[in-house]
Structure 1
Amino acid sequence: MLTLHTADLLVTGPGATPLPSGAVLVDGAGIVRVGPYEEIGAAAPHARVRRWPGVLTPGLLARGADVLLERTYYPDDPYEVTELGADPISGDGALAALKMTEARWGHSARRGTQKLLARGVVAVAGRFTVASVRTAVVRSGLTVVPPAPYEGEPSLDPLAGRESAGQAFHGVLEAGAPARFAVFAVADEAELLARGARTCVATVISGRLLHRRR
């Protein structure tokens, strides 16, 4: 089924000229066409239309995902928040006190991947050694890429520490490319970088809407 995603502003990749009222036409898991909404909408009148506020960009890449998902514990809300608090838990001592098991790591990783999807993440860089974590990542739909050197601490927000929003983009939006993108409730790339990935309102991977802000 054809789906036409359109937003106030479309950014197809790092350094690309923003396109007002741009659109991405998706068929299954791939992108068919990218361009002005009026033009693509006229060419595909039967496509389902999803209108989003803000800026539509390529999805984001989270660095250091092995640290985020295998060395950080995400308390189960609401069941553990009273005892553990809502913030992620890291550090050898704190994790040892939790008496982590592989099953518990898997549950935590599922909560972690949901947090990443809610920040427009479509791909993660890291090497996973815990089987239940690998399973959680694969089932989430996130693409796994090899780890690469980076500065600073890993963050759930891939825009943290970046000099431009484009540095966090994973891939470009063009005909024939996988349908992996995100929409952020901001006016432009500068505001996206300033406010961060928590402004995400939608994340699409392989043409599927895996996160939508309620």
Structure 2
Amino acid sequence: MRTLHSAELLLPGPGPGPGSAPVPDGAVLVEGDRIAALGPFADLAERYPHARARRWPGLLTPGLLVRGADDLLERTYYPDDPYEVAELGADPLSRAAALEELKMTEARWGNSARRGTQKLLARGVVAVTGRFTVPAVRTAVSRSGLTILPPAAHEGTPSLDPLAGRDAAGQAFYGVLETGAPARFAVFAVADEAELLERGATTCVATVISGRLLHRRR
């Protein structure tokens, strides 16, 4: 089935070529796990009148990449809401002393990683870098749909928000949106790239990986 994802502004990705120019009222046509076409919504809707249409508010961009995700998922614990929040609080726990008190097991790390990957998907993340040594964590990341890449150099402390500290949103993009490319992208409830940088990835309203809608803000 073909699905036409459209937004008020389409940002195909960084680059000097004409294919990187923003497209007002733009759209991405997804067929299977690939991008079949992209461009102005009106043009694609006319060419593919039987495609299922999903209309999103804001800015549609390539999905985001988080570096150092092993720190975020193997050395940070995400309390189970609502069962643990009263005791542990809602914030992630990463201090060695706090983790020691939790007496972490592989199963508990796996459950935490599943909650962590949901937080990443809710921020438009489609790929992560890191070396995962806890089998249950690696399984959780693989099953989430996120692409796992080898460890890569990164500056500062890894963050759930890959836009934090960036000078341009393109620095956090994973790939570009073009015909034939994998259908992995995100939509943010902002007007443009400047607002996206200002407000961050928590403005995400939808994340698509391999053509599948894996996060949708309720």
Q: Normalising to structure 2: TM-score of the pair?
A: 0.97
Give 2:92's aligned residue.
88
Give 1:206's aligned residue.
210
Q: Measure, in 2, the Cα distance between the counterparts of 1:52 and 1:12.
A: 16
CA drift at 1:147: 1.4
CA drift at 1:92: 1.3
Which shifted more, 10-19 or 150-159? 10-19
Report 1:129-144 matches (<5 A): 129-144=133-148
Give 2:182's aligned residue.
178
Which shifted more, 12-21 or 135-144? 12-21
Q: Deviations over 1:122-150 (max 9, x none)?
A: 00011100000000000000001111111
Q: Measure, in 2, the Cα distance between the counterparts of 1:17 and 1:69.
A: 35
Give 2:38's aligned residue.
34
CA drift at 1:213: 0.4
Q: Is the 8 Å Cα contact of residues 152 and 161 (structure 1) preserved in structure 2?
A: no
CA drift at 1:153: 0.5
Give 2:127's aligned residue.
123
Code of the residue aligned with 1:154 in structure 2: it is P
Code of the residue aligned with 1:4 in structure 2: it is L
Kindly tell me the number of residue pairs found equivalent between the two proteins: 214
Give 1:6's aligned residue.
6
Q: Deviations over 1:59-79 (max 9, x none)?
A: 000111000000000000000
CA drift at 1:112: 0.1
Q: Deviations over 1:33-57 (max 9, x none)?
A: 0111111111111000000000000
Give 2:164's aligned residue.
160
Q: Deviations over 1:62-114 (max 9, x none)?
A: 11100000000000000000110000000211111100000000000000000
Q: Measure, in 1, the Cα distance between the counterparts of 2:152 and 2:95.
A: 22
Structure 2 gap ranges (5+)? none
Q: Measure, in 2, the Cα distance between the counterparts of 1:205 and 1:150.
A: 24
Structure 1 gap ranges (5+)? none
Code of the residue aligned with 1:58 in structure 2: it is P
Q: Quick one: which of 83, 95, 109 aligns to 1:79? A: 83
Q: Measure, in 1, the Cα distance between the counterparts of 2:109 and 2:93.
A: 12
Which shifted more, 140-149 or 110-119? 140-149
Q: Quick one: which of 175, 185, 190 aligns to 2:194? A: 190
Q: Measure, in 2, the Cα distance between the counterparts of 1:135 and 1:150.
A: 24
Indicate the RMSD between aligned Cα atoms, in angstroms: 0.6
Code of the residue aligned with 1:9 in structure 2: it is L
- Please identify runs of 4+ aligned residues in structure 1 that moved more than 2 A: none
